[in-house]
Structure 1
Amino acid sequence: MAARCRPLEVLAIDRSPGYAGWARAAATAGTHVVVADARDLPVRDGACDAVVSGLTLNFLAPPAAAVAEMVRTVRAGGLVAAYVWDYAGGMDLLRLFWGAAVDADPSAAALDERRRFPLCRPDALGALWTQAGLGEVSVAPIEVPTVFADFADLWEPFLTGQGPAPGYLATLSAADRERVRDALRAALPCGPGGSVELTARAWAVRGRRAG
C-alpha cells in the first residue's frame, strides 16, 4: 500500500511481536509499526483516511468488533476495506491439501478452513460491511497465480507449523504425515519438469463511512 498509494503516513498493526519486528525492519519512510490488537486500535476517532485489514479478519472473534474499530478510526467519507482468502472454493492448494488429509484421516475435516471461516464469502463480507453502517459497499475477487517449481517447493512450507494446515501436520506422526504427503502428491496437476500451477483467490470488500 505504501508503494502503490504513496500515503503521507502509514500505521501498521499486528499483535505478534515477531511479525511486527519483521515489518518494522522492512518498513519504508513514513511507515510506523506497532504491536496492538485490531479490536482495540491505538488511534483516535476519525484519524485515518483509510483503514485496511489484510488476510486477518476471519481470525478475529468477533469480526464485527474489528470492523467497528475500523469504522471508528476512519474519517467521514473515508475508506474501510479488507481482503481474506476464499477458503470455500478459491484456494486450490488448500482444497487439495485438505482433500488429501481427509482421505488419510477423516477427523481432519473439522479443521478445514472452508468449514471454520464462513465469513470468507462475498455475501457474508458484504453483509458485515453493511451492518457496520458503511455505504457504497462492494466485493470483488483477487486472483493470484501460485506456481511451484516442483512438489518439494509446494510441500516444505506445510512443515513450518505456521497456520491451520501446517499446525495440523505438526500433530501427526511421521508415518501419517507421509500418507498425507503421498495423497497430496497424487492429487496435484503437474506440468513440465514437475512444476505445479494453481490459483489462489481472495475476496476484497470495501465501503465508505457516511459523511
Structure 2
Amino acid sequence: MTSEHDVWAVGDAYEAYIGRWSRPVAAEFVRWLAAPAGGRWVDVGCGTGALTATVLAAADPAHLLGVDPSAGFLAGARSRVTDPRVSFQVGDARALPLPDRSVDVVVSGLALNFVPDPVLAATEIARILTPGGVAGAYVWDYADGMGMLRHFWDAAAALDPAAVELDEGNRFPLCRNDALGRLWSDAGLGDVRVQAVEVPTVFADFDDYWGPFLGGQGPAPGYAMSLSDKQRGALRDLLHDRLPIAADGTIPLTARAWAVRGTAVA
C-alpha cells in the first residue's frame, strides 16, 4: 500500500535520509546471501545504487542490471556506480523486462513494501530465475526495529492521532519476518530462510537527525513537510525532548531489517 507521502524521486535527499544507513545493511545482507560469484544479477528497485555497489564489491557478478521506476534515483545510481558490468533501466517490479529463466541471482533492497503488488513482484522474481538461482530481499523492520522512524512516528502520533495511519509500521505488514518468508514461499521458491540484519545508526547531533526529514523524500519526510511551520516546530521540539541524546550530542540508535533468501526450484 502506498500513500501521497511516499515520494521517491530525488536521489540526494534520499541519501541523506535513509540511503546512508542502507549501505551497512546491504553489506551484511550480501554476506549472508552467499550467492556464487559470477553470473547474471538483477537488482529490483535499485534506487540510488547502494545494494548494486555492494554486490559489485563483494559478490563479483559477471553483469548486474539495476531496475527502478524512478528516473531520478537511476540518475543518482549512474553517477555513483560506473562499473562497466552494470547497466540501469527504468522498470516496474511487477513486470520485469527480462525473459523467463534468464538470471542467476535476483536481489531487492528496501523496496518490495513500496511495490503496489508485492505478490506479483515476488512472482516476477521467481519467473526470471534460472533453476537453482538465488532470490534475496530485505525490508526495514518498521514496526519495531527502525529507531529513527519509530521515534518520529511515536512523536507525530502524540501530536496528531491521524499520523498513526501513515506510520510505515502499520502500513506495511510485509515488513515482518513471517510475512516476508511467506511471500517467498508463495512465489514457489524453495529453501526459504529469514534473517534479521541490525546495524548502528549514530547521528552526529540533533540537526543530523532532523534535517533529512525536511527533504520530502519518503513517507515520514513527506508527512513532516505537509505540516504547517507551527506544527512542524512542535514535532521538532517533542523529538528533541524524547530522543536519547548522549552527553557529546550524538544520538545512538539502531536500524533492523528483515532479510529473506530462497532458491528457484528446478
Q: Which has the larger radius of gyration?
A: 1
Q: 1: CA distance between counterparts of 2:80 and 2:220?
A: 27
Task: Please state whether the residue corresponding to 1:98 is helix, strand or coil.
Answer: helix
**Cα separation, 1, equivalents of 2:241 and 2:161:** 18
Name the CA distance, whole Å, in 2 between partners of 1:151 and 1:112. 21
Deviation at 1:29, TM superposition (A): 2.0
Q: How many corresponding residue pairs?
A: 211
- The percent identity for this pair of structures is 52
What corresponds to 1:5 in structure 2?
59
* Amino acid in the other structure paired with 1:200: A
Matches within 5 A, 1:1-211: 1-27=55-81, 28-211=83-266
Which runs of at least 4 in structure 1 moved beyond 2 Å after TM superposition? none
What is the TM-score normalised by the length of structure 1?
Answer: 0.98
Root-mean-square deviation (CA, aligned residues, Å) is 0.8
Residue deviations 1:101-129 (CA, integer Å, cap 9, x gap): 11111111110001100000000011111
Q: 2:209 corresponds to which letter in structure 1?
A: L
Rounded to whole Å, the distance in 2 between the matches of 1:91 and 1:128 is: 21
Could you tell me which residue of structure 1 aligns to residue 4 of structure 2? Answer: none
Give the match for residue 40 of structure 2: none
| Partners of 2:218 and 2:116 in 1: CA distance | 17
Question: Which whole-Å CA distance do the structure 2 matches of 1:189 and 1:169 have between them?
Answer: 21
Shift of 1:38: 1.0
How far apart in 2 are the matches of 1:67 and 1:182?
Answer: 41
**Whole-angstrom CA distance in 1 between matches of 2:173 and 2:105:** 26
State the alpha-carbon separation in 1 of the partners of residues 176 and 96 from structure 2.
25
Instruction: Name the TM-score, length of structure 2 as normaliser.
Output: 0.78
Counterpart of 1:114 in structure 2: which amino acid? G
Equivalent-residue separation in structure 1 for 2:210 and 2:67 (angstroms): 30
Aligned-partner SS, 1:103 = helix
Which runs of no fewer than 5 residues in structure 1 stay unpaired?
A: none
